[in-house]
Structure 1
Amino acid sequence: MPNSPAKQRSGDGSETPAKGLHLLVAEDHEFQRGMMVQMLENLGAKSIHEAEDGRSALEIIRELGHPFDIIVTDIDMPGMDGMSLIRSLGEASSGAALIITSGLDRSLLDTIETMSAAYGMRLLGTVEKPPTQERFADLISLYWRAKPNPERFKPAREIFSLDEIIEGLQNDQFEPFYQPKIDLKTGRVKGAEALARWRHPRDGIVMPYAFLGLLEENSEISELTWTMLARSARDCQEWRNAGLDLDVAVNLSVKQLADPGISDAITWQVTNQGLEPRHMTLEITESAAMTNVGRVLENLTRLRIKGFGLSIDDYGTGYSSMQQLTRIPFTELKIDQSFVMHAAHQESSRMILESSLDMARKLGVVSVAEGVETRDDLNLVRECGCDLAQGFFIARPMPSTDLPDWVRDYS
C-alpha cells in the first residue's frame, strides 16, 4: 500500500448511531482524515480503517476479505479519486453504504449522488467540508432506518451460460416475486409488481442481473416474458379469488413491443389464466416507447383497448419529450427510484420528483414512486401528492405464497 499502512481503530461500543458498524474512510488529507475518524469513533463504530485514496481503499477491502457497512470517501483525491472508487465499488457489488465528503459545489455533489445511484451504490448522503459529527450521526442513522436490500448486492455464485438459463426456463425454475404497491391516500395495498427470480437448484434465488442481459442480447427473452405473464396472471387471480382486491404489474421487454402479434399473444396468455386484463398493468421503459414508434404505438393502443393498464417505467432516466409522452396511451407514470431515494436531501432530485408528479396530474394518469427506502422518503412522496408507492421500506419482493398474509397483516 502506498506511503502509509492502513490503520484500524475501535470504538468503545457505547449506544451511538455507528455502534457495531465496520467503516472505511478514504481521504488524502491526513489531518481531515484523522478528524473524521475521531468523530466516527465518538459515534461508536466497531472498527474504522483508513485509506489515503481510492486505490488504497480497494486494497484494504481485498486484504481484509470482509464487507464494510459504510464507506466514507472524499471525491478530489490524487491517485484514484472518489468517483473511480465509487465506480469500482458499484461494479464489484460491494454491498457497502456510502457517505461522500467533499468541499465541491453543491450542484457537482448532486451530480455525483446521481452517479453513485446509477452505479448501484446505496448513498446515505453527503457531508460538506468541514464535516461535523452531527451530520455523520444523521446520515448513519439512515443506515439503520433502511438496511440495504441483500438482493440488490448479492452476486451470482458463478456466471451462467445462455444454455443453462434456457434449460432453467424449460424446467420451470423461473417465477415472479412480488413487491407490494400501496395507495398513499388510503394506506390500502393496491397491488404488486412482478419481478423475475430464478429458483436455481444449486445457487438458490438468483437475481435478474445474472440472466436478463444475456437473454436480451441473444433475443431469447420471450420465454421468460410468457412465464412471467402467465404466472403473474394466475397468482393475481388466486389472490382475487381469496377475497383480496389486488392488481399486478409485469414488465415487458423492449424487443417484443415491435412484434405485430404481441398484443393478441399477451391477451391470450393472461385471460387463459382467468384474469381480466383490467387487473394487469404492463410496464415499459421510456426508451422502449421511443423505439420503432409506429409499431410500438399500435401495440400499446391495442393493449389499452383490451383493458390493460400501461405504465411508463423508470420515468426521468430516458430522453423522451413531453409531446411524445402525450401520444402514448399510458395510465400510469412510474418515477425512477434514483430521484425518489434522494429527494428528501437533494434539491435537484426533489425538483424532478415534484415536476414529474405535476405532469402526471395534468395528464390524468396515476403516479407511482419506486425506491421508497426510508420513512422520510414515504412522508415526502405522500406530501408531494404521489398516488402509489413501493420500496424496501414498505416491503421487499416476496414469493406469491407470502403476499396474501403480508397484505392482511399490513391492512
Structure 2
Amino acid sequence: MVDPKELNVMVVEDDDFQRGMIVRMLRAQGVGSICEAVDGRQAIEIIRGEDEQSPDIAFCDLNMPEMDGLEFLRHLGEEEHPVAIVIISALESKVLTSAGTMTKMYGVKLLGVVEKPISPDQIKAMLSVYERTSNKWQKPTDQGSNFTVDEILQGIREHQFEPFLQPKVDLTTNQLVGAEALARWIHPEHGIIGPYAFIPKLEESDNIDELTFQMIEKSAAMCRQCHDAGYPVTISVNLSLVSLDDTTLADHITQLVKNIGLAPQHMVLEVTESAAMTEVAHALENLARLCMNGFQLSIDDYGTGYSSLQQLTRIPFSELKIDQSFVKGSDDNETLLSWSNPASTWHTS
C-alpha cells in the first residue's frame, strides 16, 4: 500500500478557487507533497525540472489557456514521464471519455476521469486506485524472451507446457459454463513463462503444431475430468492460422480428443478474426471439417480487423468473442453500455 504522506501530487487547474479547493481536499487526505500549475505549460516545466521532485499523480483540467490539458497529456506521453493522471473537467461526458482514451493511447497512466466539481470522496477514490494499481505500472521483465526454438521444443517434448484455465461464467445465471485454456511454460529455472516468449517463435519456425496438439490433449483430459466429477463444461483451445494450412489437421485433432474419451462437442476451437477471414481454401476446409466432426468454433478478438458480419458467414462459427476494447470501461462510458448487456449472448476476449 502507498502511504498518502509519501505521494507527490500536482494540481493543474487555471481557476484559482477550484485549484485551491482540490489542494485542500488533498491535504485532508494526508498527501505529503502538493504542487500547483495554472496550465499545461507550467506543469510540464515543473515535471521536466531537475530541481523538482516529479509528481506521482497529476489532477489535470482540460480547458486551460496557453497549453490546454490535451496538449499537456500529449507531452507527458511523448516524453514518457511516469505520472499517473486524473482528468477533471466540466466538459460533456463524451468529450471526457474521448480524452481518457487518448490519454491511454499516448501511454500515460490514467487513474480516472471525473466531472467537475470533484468531491473529497472522489479524491479519496482516485488515490485508492493509484494504491491498488501502482505495481501494475512497473515495466515488465523480458524474462524468457531469448529462448531459442530448440529450447522451446525441448520444453514441449518434456511436457513442461500446461494449459492454465480461465473460467467462463454465464452472467444471467452466475454459473460456470466453461474455460479457456491458456498455454503457459512451467520452466524449471525461470518459472511460469507467458506465451509471447514462445508462440511467435514456434509460428515463425512452423513448429506451432507440437504445442497445439499437446494443449488440446491436456485440455481434453481436464474437460473429461470435469465431466466425470459432474461438471458438464466446455474447454476452449486456440488454433493458429499457421496450423490451418495442413489438410490433415482436423482429423488429427478429432482423433486426439476421441482418444481421451471426450465427445468433440465439448471442445471449442478458437481462431482469430484474421484466420476466419482467410482466403486459403485449406484453412476453410479444416474449419468446416472440425465443425462436421462436432467441434464448436469460436472467432476471437472480433472487431480488431476489417471484417464484416457478411464475411463471417464463410465459416460455421458458434461463438463470436468481441474484443475487450469494445466493452472495457463500459461502466463509465455510455457509448459502450449496449455491448456490455448481461443478457447478450456475445462473449468478450
Instruction: Classify the TM-score, shorter chain.
Output: 0.7 to 0.9
Q: Distance in 1 between matches of 2:311 and 2:255?
A: 29
1:247 corresponds to: 234
1:360 corresponds to: none
Structure number with larger C-alpha Rg: 2
1:368 corresponds to: none
Q: Distance in 2 between matches of 1:287 and 1:276?
A: 28
| Gapped regions of structure 1 (runs ≥ 5) | 1-8, 13-20, 355-380, 392-411
Matched, 1:300 2:258: no
SS of structure 1 residue aligned to 2:236: strand
Of the three residues 210, 219, 239, the one matched with 1:223 is 210
TM-score, L = length of structure 1:
0.65
Of the three residues 302, 321, 335, the one matched with 2:308 is 321
1:161 corresponds to: 147
Deviations 1:278-313 (A, max 9, x none): 001111111221123533332221111111111111
Shift of 1:45: 5.4
Deviations 1:230-279 (A, max 9, x none): 11111111121222221101111122223322211221222222221100
Q: Distance in 1 between matches of 2:33 and 2:331?
A: 29
For the structure 1 residues 117 and 316, does the alpha-carbon distance in structure 2 shift closer, same or farther, using more than 3 Å as the test?
Answer: farther
Equivalent residue letter for 1:300? L
1:42 corresponds to: 28
Q: Distance in 2 between matches of 1:282 and 1:151?
A: 33
Q: Distance in 1 between matches of 2:74 and 2:124?
A: 27
2:278 corresponds to: 291
Deviations 1:315-343 (A, max 9, x none): 22221111112332111111222222211
Q: Summarize the alignment of residues 330-341 of structure 1 with structure 2, pairs less than 5 Å apart.
A: 330-341=317-328
Question: 2:236·2:268 contact (CA, 8 Å) conserved in 1?
Answer: yes
1:207 corresponds to: 194
1:181 corresponds to: 168
2:65 corresponds to: none
1:386 corresponds to: 344
Equivalent residue letter for 1:84? E
Deviations 1:97-138 (A, max 9, x none): x64426587556545545666789885532356755444445
Q: Distance in 1 between matches of 2:33 and 2:9?
A: 8
Matched, 1:348 2:306: no
Q: Distance in 1 between matches of 2:188 and 2:301?
A: 32
2:66 corresponds to: none
For the structure 1 residues 132 and 210, does the alpha-carbon distance in structure 2 shift closer, same or farther, using more than 3 Å as the test?
Answer: farther
Equivalent residue letter for 2:155? G
Equivalent residue letter for 1:304? C
Of the three residues 309, 318, 321, the one matched with 2:296 is 309
Q: Distance in 2 between matches of 1:331 and 1:30?
A: 55
2:262 corresponds to: 275
1:76 corresponds to: 70
Q: Between 276-285 and 331-340, report the one with greater CA deviation.
A: 331-340
2:219 corresponds to: 232
TM-score, L = length of structure 2:
0.75
Question: 2:179·2:234 contact (CA, 8 Å) conserved in 1?
Answer: yes
Equivalent residue letter for 2:344? C
Question: 1:181·1:192 contact (CA, 8 Å) conserved in 2?
Answer: yes
SS of structure 2 residue aligned to 1:192: strand
Question: 1:250·1:283 contact (CA, 8 Å) conserved in 2?
Answer: yes
For the structure 1 residues 49 and 269, does the alpha-carbon distance in structure 2 shift closer, same or farther, using more than 3 Å as the test?
Answer: farther
Question: 1:229·1:266 contact (CA, 8 Å) conserved in 2?
Answer: yes
1:364 corresponds to: none
Question: 2:9·2:58 contact (CA, 8 Å) conserved in 1?
Answer: yes
Of the three residues 87, 91, 102, the one matched with 1:101 is 87
Q: Distance in 2 between matches of 1:193 and 1:114?
A: 28
For the structure 1 residues 156 and 131, does the alpha-carbon distance in structure 2 shift closer, same or farther, using more than 3 Å as the test?
Answer: same
Shift of 1:190: 0.4
Equivalent residue letter for 1:280? M
Equivalent residue letter for 1:101? I
Equivalent residue letter for 1:229? I
2:178 corresponds to: 191
- Aligned identity (percent) is 42
Q: Between 198-207 and 154-163, report the one with greater CA deviation.
A: 154-163
2:64 corresponds to: none
Q: Summarize the alignment of residues 54-65 of structure 1 with structure 2, pairs less than 5 Å apart.
A: 56=47
